[in-house]
Every structure is written in C-alpha cells, then in structure tokens.
Structure 1
Amino acid sequence: MEQVGARWRSGTDRAQVQVHDKVRVADGVVTLTLAAPDGGRLPDWTPGAHVDLTLDNGLTRQYSLCGDRWDAYSYRVGVLLEPAGRGGSSYVHEQLAPGHVVGLGGPRNHFPLVPAGSYLFVAGGIGITPILPMIAQADLLGAEWRLLYGGRTRGSMAFLDELSAHGDRVQVRPQDEHGLLDLAGFLGHPRPDTPVYACGPGPLLTAMERACAGWPARALRTERFVAAEQGAPVRAGAFDVELRRSGRTVTVAPDTSVLEALSAVGVEVLSSCRQGTCGTCETTVLAGVPDHRDSLLDDDERAAGDCMYPCVSRSCSDRLVLDL
C-alpha cells in the first residue's frame, strides 16, 4: 500500500498525522480526528483495524479506527481516560491538542469482519469503537445485525447519538440501570451462519466465551485491550533464537522476553503494547515450535506455527529460527 507524499508500505512503516479535532463524546472519552500534515491521502483500512499513535511523551498506544472508512483523508479514534494506566490516555486527554503532530503506525487489522448474512455485536465501554465501522459495513452490504452495548452509566457510553439512528437494532444497557448484560438472552440459540463480534473489558469477553460455548467453532471473534491471563511457559529454561537473515544466534534467558533479548544485541523489532494484544511485533517463524502466549492468534493460527509475537511468546523447542 503506497501513499504519495509519505512512506507507508503494507501498513507497517511509520509516518505522521496531525490532530485536526478533539471532541469530548462521553464522560472520560474523547475522539481525535487525524489527517496527514500535508493534507494527503491516508492508507485505506477495513472495519476492525487499529493504528498505533506514538505520542510526544514517548509512549505508543493502539486505538481502533471508528470513523468513516470511505473518507480517504481523515481517521477518527476514541480514547478512554484511564487514570490508573501508564500515561498514554492521560496525555491524550490533558495535553494533546489540535495542531499537534503524532507518529502513526498501521493501520493493521487482527479483528476483521468476515462476510456473512447476519451478525451479532456485543460492546462494553470503549469496546464500541471497532464495532462502529463494522455496523456501517453490515448496513452497506444489506446484512442483518443487532448490537448489545453496555457501560457503567449512560453518560460514560460514547456514540449513543450515532447509534440512535439504528432504532431497536441497538440495545443500550448501562449497568447502573439494567445490571450485567443479558448475554444469553441477546445471543439466543446458536446459529451456524451468524458470527458474533465482541470487544470490551476482560470480564465481558470471558463471559462471552462461556455464553458462546455451544456455538460453532470460531463463531465468536473478540478483541482484547488487556492481555488474557496465561499459564506458565512450556519451557522453564533458556532457548536459542537463530536470526536467519542476519546469521546471528541469541540465547533467551528464562526471565527475558524474546523481544528484550533481541534488543540487547542491537536487533530492533517494531513493538508497542508488549503484552501480546496489538500485533505490532509480529515476526515470521521459519523453524521450531513457538510457545504462543499472545491474545491475538486463534487455534488454527497457533497450530500453523509460522508466526509469533516476541514481546510475550517463547519457544517449545530448543531453537527457534526467525526471519530477522
């Protein structure tokens, strides 16, 4: 994917975007409208995609694109203020202003909308952001869909005005008014031709996994903002990583991530979340068996063993060979 006037290729290179607008859309939620500083065209994207924003404070954070995918000149993202976070959201809310320029990575999509005649969407809080363009796409294709949208309070739930245009296809259920979401009632009986998309906090996604236990394999598709809990690594000891292109071999100690071991010898891999949720550091595996510890790959992708996320994943075998 090439874009004149910048240096985007295949959604992986870094560029810059400028903040054109910043709007408060709910309690603790702002949207940013971003555009190329020279007014040029931005890379295309598909529903479910996110971008990495590199802020002036040195932090890189991932935000789902929630605007109009057919607008080639601007992106929109929604940012939830997390006072107990690592500083990215507070910087966006308190310091980032129209006119500021930030680094851009992506877009990339680990939460794609698959073709179907009908969809069920479940969103919790800021998890509504990747769902918005999915709804627009479903409407464009004439597919049937329904959305269950929960949050702490009605005032904390963003984009309610936009969603009101869809009438009773959208169920808005603030917790202080309705209690926990009635997932079983919303989902109904399992249907083989209806994908279920869910995004939100960890407890909601865990509840979705239980609620969809009787649905066909891969019917439920989720995106996590916080990594899922993982058990102990397969290997307790060290292992070697061979870098095929550079001809080097690096030993990864038990208390060091593959990403850290590579960085220590001067091999830099683009990374962001460092918890296996964003996909920025995806690396091709040429040989060996990865110990997948991310929150991105599905069972089939893990079984294929041809890629890994070195920020969290390790090795089942004595040696891994990576395309680095």
Structure 2
Amino acid sequence: MNIAFPVPDEVPPDLYGRRERDPLLRVLERVMNAHMHPLRYRHRKDVAGESIDRSFPVVVVDRAVEAHDENVMGFALAAPDGGELPLWRAGAHIDVETPSGLLRQYSLCGDPADSRRYRIAVRRIPDGIGSVEMHDEVVLGTRLTIRGPRNAFAFAVPGHGSTADHLHFVAGGIGITPILPMVRLAHRLGVDWTMVYTGRSRDSLPFLGELREFGDNVTIRTDDVDGTPSAAVLLEGARSTSAIYACGPMPMIGTLDRGVARGTEFHFERFSASPIVDGVQFDVELARTGETVTVPADRSALDAIRTVRPDVAYSCRQGFCGTCRVPVVGGTDGMLVCTERTQGERVVLDI
C-alpha cells in the first residue's frame, strides 16, 4: 500500500539537466524517462483502447548470495538478446513467473539507470513454495517470464512532487529492496536523508556492504542486540519536515503508523495484508472437489484454502495484484481470497 502524495506528470528540467555526456546527468535523464514511461503507457491504453501484453522473457545472468545467513539470493535479469529492458523508477516491482508456473512479485533493487539489467532479491522462506523454487531451481541461464514493471510505491523527490525538505527511510529485512534505489537516487541528487535498517540480526540483513558507502546516513538496529525497535528508534533522524518511506513486515509498519506525527508525509509498502479486524468465521466450498474449508475469524480465505490446496495462485496478499482472484460459482464477480471475506455467508469457489 502507498499513501504517498501524487507525483506530478512533469519533472522540471532544472532537476534533471540537459542531454550531456556527464554520467550523473545521464542517470537523471533516465530517471525522468522512467517516470514518464508509465504515463505514456496509460495514455495509449486508455485513449487508443489497446490491449498491451507487458510480459516478456528474461534470462538469469548473475546469481549471488546477498546476506551472510545465505537466505537471501540476488538475481540479475537481462533480455535474451542483450537488448534494453522497459524503463522503471524507484519503488517498482515485477511479476516473475517461476519455471513451475508460480507467479511471485519482487521489488527491483538495482539501478534504474541500467537499461540492460534488472536486479531482484529473494528471501528463502522454509514453507514458501515460490522462494524455495527461486533458490533451488533458478540458476545462471534460466529463462523466466516477467511482467511489468509496475509501481505501487512511487518515490517523490523533495521540491518536485513532495513538500518535505528531508527524507527518512525505514527498511525491515528484505524490505530494503524497494528502498535501496530510493536511497541511491537521494544520494545522487544531494538530498538530505537518513535511514534506519532493522532486522533479526546483522547476518540476516542483505546489502549491508552496499550501504557502507553511505556512512552515518544509515543506522543499523537488530533485534538480537537492540531488542524490538520502538517508533522512536525507527524514526531516529527524522524531522517534522521529513517525508518517510518505509517497507517491511506488518508489525514494523504498524509501529511506525502509530508513531508518525499527524500530517507527516508517510509512504509505505508492507509484506502482507492488513490484520483482520472484527472478522467473522465462514465456510468456503471448493466446487471442483466438494470439500468445505472453514475460514477462521482471524485468518484469510487464502490461508485456509492453502491448507488443502497449497498450489493455489497468489502473489502480493494485499489485494491489488489480482493473482488470487477466484471465480465465485453462481456469482458475477470473482473473490480475492487474500483479502475479501463474507460476513458469515457460505461461498462456493471454482477451485
């Protein structure tokens, strides 16, 4: 989820400079183009009525462990012919179709100025079918199909789409992936910024080596040394005039949400759906088998269905990607089983 202020459709030329050979200016020019690309895409689809398939093949050209506990694997993806890939901007993600056909979403954590490579990082989850497959089956030379890039976590530069004069980033574990390109862009532009990076232990945190170049701008806080961070700890370095960007698990986002002052520009992306509040237990019938699954008041239909159908398709668990939409028998619309539920009524799904 992202509650950021909207980014303007035009970026002032004095931010990105003229078309010169200077490397920094080339980087900034590419950032501007990445910003404008999704606007062009929306215009073509809405005005011309075109149906555009944004899926395309890539090949794994690099694979490396990114955390000392070896549970985070980084992948570099390139076009099979070595050509340029679609533009993207900080905060974007891609849908990755694994060799077995699963669809998973991963944030782009590389450099938007690199037009020929995407980089993603995948944390291995012991019972996560998709992450285990990415770690064990996806090797150098593996061909994948991806879709996107899409951006539900847009980054606004202070003075150009943001009224803040300082940026404060908060990343929890693998939540560093969408934050890292934002940090790099802020650093290149000379924007005043700070960051708190938290996780279970230093060994579990990916990209620590890359963050060293930013020196004291980055503060590391780990549970095994410092305990579970409070809002005050997570907001260390932030000001009343800061825009805050955060990505991480729901408890961290919840802590921040309670600690951020009213009126603060707060942008966030979370790993899972919001906690279920005042839920009601209901039954789901799987039409193709006749099985009935009871969905507890505090769990999603997706969680309950996966106990008997672990291969049911899902991706973001937040309701915006649509991967887990399942046809309702006798209904006109499908049900997003990761977030939608009934008020106790039985529902029959085409599973």
Q: State TM-score, norm by structure 2.
A: 0.64
Name the amino acid aligned to 2:154.
P
Q: Structure 1, residues 141-185: CA drift from partner, whole Å, max 9, x if none?
A: 221111100111111111011001111110011211111224314
Pairing partner for 2:216 from 168, 187, 212:
168
Question: Structure 2 CA distance, aligned partners of 1:190 and 1:174?
Answer: 19
Pairing partner for 2:275 from 203, 207, 229:
229
Question: Structure 2 CA distance, aligned partners of 1:112 and 1:11?
Answer: 22
Shift in Å at residue 273 of structure 1?
Answer: 2.0
Question: Structure 2 CA distance, aligned partners of 1:153 and 1:39?
Answer: 38
Question: Structure 1 CA distance, aligned partners of 2:316 and 2:193?
Answer: 34
Shift in Å at residue 193 of structure 1?
Answer: 3.4
Task: Name structure 1 gaps, 5 residues minimum.
Answer: 3-8, 237-254, 256-270, 284-307, 316-324
Question: Structure 2 CA distance, aligned partners of 1:186 and 1:200?
Answer: 12
Q: How does 1:128-143 map to 2 (within 5 A)?
A: 128-143=176-191
- Residue of structure 2 equivalent to 1:70: 113
Q: Structure 1, residues 54-107: CA drift from partner, whole Å, max 9, x if none?
A: 01111110000000110000000010000122x000001111101001110110
Question: Structure 1 CA distance, aligned partners of 2:103 and 2:228?
Answer: 33
Name the amino acid aligned to 2:55.
R
Q: Which SS does the other structure have where 2:179 is aligned?
A: helix
> Whose helix proportion is higher, 1 or 2?
2
Q: Which SS does the other structure have where 1:136 is aligned?
A: helix
Name the amino acid aligned to 1:94.
D
Paired residue total: 254
Name the amino acid aligned to 1:60.
L
1:11–1:106 contact (8 Å) kept in structure 2: no
Q: How does 1:1-324 map to 2 (within 5 A)?
A: 13-26=54-67, 27=69, 28-85=71-128, 87-116=129-158, 117-187=165-235, 191=239, 193-212=241-260, 214-216=261-263, 219-231=265-277, 273=315, 275-276=317-318, 279=321, 312=339
Q: State TM-score, norm by structure 1.
A: 0.69
1:17–1:101 contact (8 Å) kept in structure 2: yes
1:198–1:221 contact (8 Å) kept in structure 2: yes
Specify whether residues 17 and 175 from structure 1 end up closer, same or farther in structure 2 by C-alpha distance, changes over 3 A only: same
Specify whether residues 232 and 173 from structure 1 end up closer, same or farther in structure 2 by C-alpha distance, changes over 3 A only: closer
Q: Which SS does the other structure have where 1:166 is aligned?
A: helix
Superposed CA RMSD: 3.4
Provide the identity percentage: 39
Shift in Å at residue 37 of structure 1?
Answer: 0.8
Specify whether residues 161 and 277 from structure 1 end up closer, same or farther in structure 2 by C-alpha distance, changes over 3 A only: farther
Specify whether residues 136 and 309 from structure 1 end up closer, same or farther in structure 2 by C-alpha distance, changes over 3 A only: farther
Question: Structure 1 CA distance, aligned partners of 2:88 and 2:237?
Answer: 33
Question: Structure 2 CA distance, aligned partners of 1:278 and 1:168?
Answer: 36
Question: Structure 2 CA distance, aligned partners of 1:140 and 1:36?
Answer: 27
Name the amino acid aligned to 2:266.
L
1:199–1:223 contact (8 Å) kept in structure 2: yes
Task: Name structure 2 gaps, 5 residues minimum.
Answer: 1-36, 39-49, 159-164, 283-294, 296-312, 326-334, 343-351
